[in-house]
């Protein structure tokens, strides 16, 4: 007879932390690890620190000067934030193809900083709620 | 050595070339236009965290990254 063992307290967070360490210290053999290394190399020091600490980083739109937050994620991971840092509008856009997470986030950063109107033209918009950008993984 | 980094499902493909080598430079230039012709965006790093999109091949760029066309999710 099968029985589902209840996980010990804190086990899930331990597993998550180990996985994050594994990724953070660059498992170059995985697409995700390689893409995150590339992303970190192309972030500014402030963005890199933010990403490591909070799981997201912020960019300034090249055309409008609006502030955007890019969360770790492969879709529905970008939002526009107001001056108080509150998400006001969710944006979903990404490069075609099945790219790993770091590549997607770097493409989003480059697009918003250099070609904001083009990125906004293709992006699907959504209203963010308090569950939209919950931090699920430490990847910075 | 300069490098062209092309994003793909493996993370990226890296193409190193000697910018002083005529043949290698020509090959890098050809790769640039082949990729941008099919919709890739090219960008170069201009400072820490500073990135600029480029429309034409820059023989002096040390590192160029290419990502595919953007679509809405």
From first to last of its 140 residues, what are the pLDDT tens digits of chain A? 556 666 666 777 776 666 666 555 556 778 999 999 999 999 999 999 999 999 999 999 999 999 999 999 888 999 999 999 999 999 999 999 999 999 999 999 999 999 999 999 999 999 988 777 766 555 65
Tell me the chain A residues in contact with residue B12 when contact means C-beta distances shorter than 8 Å: 34-35, 38, 103
**Per-residue pLDDT at A137:** 58
Angle, CA B54 vertex, CA B50 and CA B56 arms, to 5°: 150
Which positions ≥6 away from B1 have C-beta within 8 Å?
Answer: B16, B17, B18, B19
Closest CB to A110: pick one of B10, B53, B68: B53
Angle, CA A79 vertex, CA A76 and CA A85 arms, to 5°: 145
Over residues B42-62, the mean pLDDT reads 94
Closest CB to B53: pick one of A99, A103, A114: A114
**Per-residue pLDDT at A74:** 87
Residue A109 CB: number of other CB atoms within 10 A? Answer: 24
Record the pTM.
0.86
**Per-residue pLDDT at A13:** 74
Q: Give the DSSP H or E segment for A70.
A: strand A67-71
Q: Between residues 5 and 64 of chain B, which touch chain A (CB distance below 8 Å)? A: 5, 7-12, 39, 41, 43, 45, 48-53
Q: How many CB pairs lie under 8 A apart between chains A and B?
A: 101
Work out the pLDDT band at B62, boundaries 50, 70, 90: very high
Which positions ≥6 away from A92 have C-beta within 8 Å?
Answer: A75, A76, A77, A78, A123, A124, A125, A126, B72, B73
Minimum CA–CA partner of B66 in chain A: A107
Tell me the chain A residues in contact with residue B8 when contact means C-beta distances shorter than 8 Å: 97, 99
Closest CB to A95: pick one of B48, B53, B70: B70
Higher pLDDT, B47 or B57: B57
Domains along the sequence of chain B with CATH: 2-67 (3.10.20)
Round to whole Å and give the CA distance between A120 and B46. 24
Question: What are the extents of the domains in chain A?
Answer: 11-126
Widest distance between CA atoms in chain B? 42
Round to whole Å and give the CA distance between A134 and B16. 39
Assigned token pair, A137: 């993984």
């Amino acid at each position: 007879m099968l029985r589902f063992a209840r996980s010990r307290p804190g086990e899930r967070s331990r597993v998550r932390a180990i996985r994050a360490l594994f990724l953070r210290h660059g498992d170059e053999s995985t697409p995700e690890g390689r893409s995150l290394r590339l992303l970190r190399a192309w972030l500014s020091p402030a963005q890199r620190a933010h990403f490591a600490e909070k799981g997201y980083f912020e960019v300034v739109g090249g055309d409008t000067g609006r502030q955007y937050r890019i969360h770790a994620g492969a879709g529905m991971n970008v939002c526009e934030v107001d001056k108080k840092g509150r998400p006001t509008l969710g944006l979903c856009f990404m490069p075609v193809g099945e790219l790993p997470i770091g590549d997607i986030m770097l493409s989003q950063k480059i697009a918003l900083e250099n070609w904001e109107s083009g990125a906004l033209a293709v992006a699907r918009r959504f209203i963010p709620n308090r569950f939209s950008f919950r931090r699920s993984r430490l990847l910075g | 050595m300069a490098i062209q980094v092309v994003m793909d499902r493996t993370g990226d493909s890296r193409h190193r070339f000697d910018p002083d080598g005529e043949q290698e430079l020509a090959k890098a230039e050809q790769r640039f236009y082949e990729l941008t012709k099919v919709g890739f965006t090219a960008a170069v790093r201009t400072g820490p965290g500073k990135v600029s999109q480029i429309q034409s091949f820059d023989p002096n760029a040390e590192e160029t990254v290419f990502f595919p066309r953007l679509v809405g999710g």
